[in-house]
Amino acid sequence: MTITTRDQLIDALGNNSSRIIINKTSSNSNAAGTFRSYWRETGQPAQGAIPTAAATCNNATIGGVSFAQQTSQATSYLALLEAASTVSGQTLEVHDRLAHMGGLSGTVTTAQTVGLDLETLLGTDNIAARIGDSNYSDVLWWLEWYTATGSTAVTATINVTFNDGTTNNLSTLSLGASQPVGRLWGLNTLVQAADAGKFIRDVNTVTLSATTGAAGNFGVTATRYRAGVFAPLANARYTQDWAQLGIPSIPNGSCLFPILLPSATGSTGLLATGKIAHG
Amino acid sequence: MRLTKQQFIDRLDPKEIAGILAAAKVSVEVEAWLFRFNSVTPDPDGTSIDLRDPRTVAGLHGMEHAGLLSSGRAVEILSEGVSAPGGFDEHAGIKRGDSVRVLPPFDLSFPDPLLVESITAADDGAVVFFLAGAGSFARHFLESLK
């Protein structure tokens, strides 16, 4: 059965839930207004590996928050999230890390193959349920940095395939000098006006306009946003209950991990707890 | 040879610029040269500074005589083949100041001709062309328009 009443939700919170624990500190300073992945930070959950070839992530992937998998028709829901940050004005987001790839180089100026096609991965790790809407409109796409690239600012062109099967380049992305570990650049906002109404299904290639000066390591990551909590003051705990969260479903196989949106620059420690209710 | 003001400034070392600005506060002659430099408006081709203009030549030699530039720097700055500090004047058939067209896949975002502001080496030694208002590009993404 699924949870359909408040009593069932309360019962699940108290008697049938999985804990979320996030305890990490960023290894370098976060810039205000830029998304930051904590995938590669040590702590809890454990440090995720740098991906190589395109692959899905699941609830057993190191780097994600594990939780009890349910047998249909039982479902899981994110019902409670609390967070505290060592820097004021931070927003903790919890994303389901659907799939990723890495190994792109900051010194290569030809089209680099990404080949991260969610359509071919729908039958793996419950991706079909985890992407949300079947038109891929719930999927967020990112360039993610695993090792810092060089000090020359460059422009990136990303070629994608949309949900209707057409392909095109996104608008170019200006990458400032010295992209740090953990930096995330959102790609969904780069869909050109000519492709309005389409949603990215697959990232095909990334082309840099020039060498950044250092190879580094970056890749492409697909996530689905599940919940967030804003911590306006440093070192104070803020809570989002089930009503504020909207009890987003957490399908089996979800690989939950933290992304930070800082409004103040600094190296940020995150401490978050929560509950995934089952029923 | 004509240059934009930015290209001319690129030929000076930051310490030389700082010395000129400091001297302008105490020397009317230096201040007058700076006044003329700031007042000059670009010609239709975008350039403002003629390296062969007697006023440019006299001004740089005067600064060298006053010790604001080290010995020989005036001739070096006025030379048409000199490199900006840390940069190149030309590479693979494209010179600083040339107009270029950006090639695919970046052409849609940068459809208009652009000026090459500087040519430098990245940390890995590869040569990078910096275009005004567009950023850095490798040679194979550029087509010379000369």
Q: What pLDDT, in 10s, does the model give residues B58-84?
A: 788 788 878 888 776 776 677 554 444
Residue B105: which of A151, A169, A213 has the nearest Cβ?
Answer: A169
| B34 touches A at CB < 8 Å | no
User: A14: helix, coil or strand?
Assistant: helix
pLDDT score at B75: 67
For residue A209, the chain B residue with the least C-alpha distance is B137
pLDDT score at A268: 85
User: A234: helix, coil or strand?
Assistant: coil
**Poorest-pLDDT segment among A143-147, A165-169, B3-7:** B3-7
Interface of chain A against chain B, CB under 8 Å?
107, 109, 111, 150-155, 157, 159, 169, 171-172, 174, 207, 209-214
pLDDT score at B138: 96
Those residues whose C-beta lies under 8 Å from the C-beta of residue A196, and which sit 6 or more positions away, are none
Which residue stretches of chain A are H helix?
A: 6-15, 127-130, 242-245
Contact B106 A151 (CB under 8 A): no
CA distance linking residue A150 with residue A214, whole number of Å: 4
Q: pLDDT tens digit string along B81-115?
A: 444 455 788 999 999 999 999 999 999 999 999 99
CA distance linking residue B69 with residue A240, whole number of Å: 65
Chain A residues lying within 8 Å of B137, measured CB to CB:
155, 209-210
Distance of CA A108 to the CA centre of its chain: 25
Contact B123 A213 (CB under 8 A): yes
- β-partners of residue B39 are none
* Phi, psi torsion values for A190, nearest 5 degrees: -95, 0
Please check whether residue A80 is in contact with residue A264, taking contact to mean a CB–CB distance below 8 angstroms: no
Q: pLDDT tens digit string along A42-70?
A: 999 999 999 999 999 999 999 999 999 99
| B127 touches A at CB < 8 Å | no
For the record, the structure tokens of A253 come out as 């196989």
CA distance linking residue A219 with residue B66, whole number of Å: 55
Mean pLDDT for the stretch of residues A192-204: 97
Contact A207 B129 (CB under 8 A): no
Please check whether residue A185 is in contact with residue A143, taking contact to mean a CB–CB distance below 8 angstroms: yes
Q: Which of B107, B124, B129, B142 to mutate to test the interface with A (most CBs of A within 10 A)?
A: B124
Please check whether residue A25 is in contact with residue A270, taking contact to mean a CB–CB distance below 8 angstroms: yes
| pLDDT surpassing 90 at residue A233 | yes
pLDDT > 70 in chain B, percent: 89
Q: Which of A155, A173, A212 to mutate to test the interface with B (most CBs of B within 10 A)?
A: A155
Min Cα distance A103 → chain B (Å) is 18
Min Cα distance B46 → chain A (Å) is 25
For the record, the structure tokens of A81 come out as 């999230």
**ipTM, 2 dp:** 0.87
Q: What is the mean pLDDT of chain B?
A: 84
Mean pLDDT for the stretch of residues A173-187: 93
Please check whether residue A38 is in contact with residue A182, taking contact to mean a CB–CB distance below 8 angstroms: yes
| pLDDT surpassing 60 at residue A100 | yes
CA distance linking residue B12 with residue B82, whole number of Å: 11
- If DSSP states are collapsed to H, E and C, what string results for A109-122? CCCEEEEEEHHHHC
Min Cα distance B45 → chain A (Å) is 27
**Poorest-pLDDT segment among A35-39, A162-166, B23-27:** B23-27
- If DSSP states are collapsed to H, E and C, what string results for chain B? CEECHHHHHHCCCHHHHHHHHHHHCCCHHHHHHHHHHHHCCCCCCCCCEECCCHHHHHHHHHHHHCCCCCCCHHHHHHCCCCCCCCEECEECCEECCCEEEECCCCCCCCCCCEEEEEEEECCCCCEEEEECCCEEECHHHEEECC
Residue with tokens 């927003």, as numbered in its chain: A91
- A189-195 own/partner pairs: CB under 8 Å, 24+ apart: A190/A158, A192/A168, A194/A168, A195/A162, A195/A166, A195/A168
Chain A residues lying within 8 Å of B140, measured CB to CB:
109
Contact B137 A209 (CB under 8 A): yes
Residue A209: which of B108, B124, B135 has the nearest Cβ?
Answer: B135
CA distance linking residue A136 with residue A133, whole number of Å: 6
pLDDT score at B60: 84
Chain B residues lying within 8 Å of A171, measured CB to CB:
109
pLDDT score at A164: 98
- β-partners of residue B23 are none
For residues A1 and B123, which has the higher predicted lDDT (pLDDT)?
B123
CA distance linking residue A133 with residue A118, whole number of Å: 13
| pLDDT surpassing 80 at residue A28 | no
pLDDT score at A31: 78
| pLDDT surpassing 60 at residue B118 | yes
Chain B residues lying within 8 Å of A206, measured CB to CB:
none
Distance of CA A208 to the CA centre of its chain: 23
CA distance linking residue A21 with residue A81, whole number of Å: 10
User: A63: helix, coil or strand?
Assistant: coil
User: A264: helix, coil or strand?
Assistant: coil
Q: What global pTM score does this model have? A: 0.80
CA distances from A193 to A109, A205, B111 (A): 26, 20, 17
pLDDT score at A99: 98
Chain B residues lying within 8 Å of A213, measured CB to CB:
122-124, 126
pLDDT > 70 in chain A, percent: 100
Contact B128 A207 (CB under 8 A): no
Peptide bond into B6 cis (omega under 30): no
Q: What is the mean pLDDT of chain A?
A: 95
pLDDT score at B82: 45
CA distance linking residue A102 with residue A244, whole number of Å: 35
Those residues whose C-beta lies under 8 Å from the C-beta of residue A254, and which sit 6 or more positions away, are A58, A59, A64, A67, A76, A96, A126, A130, A226
Q: pLDDT tens digit string along A71-86?
A: 988 999 999 999 999 9
| B86 touches A at CB < 8 Å | no
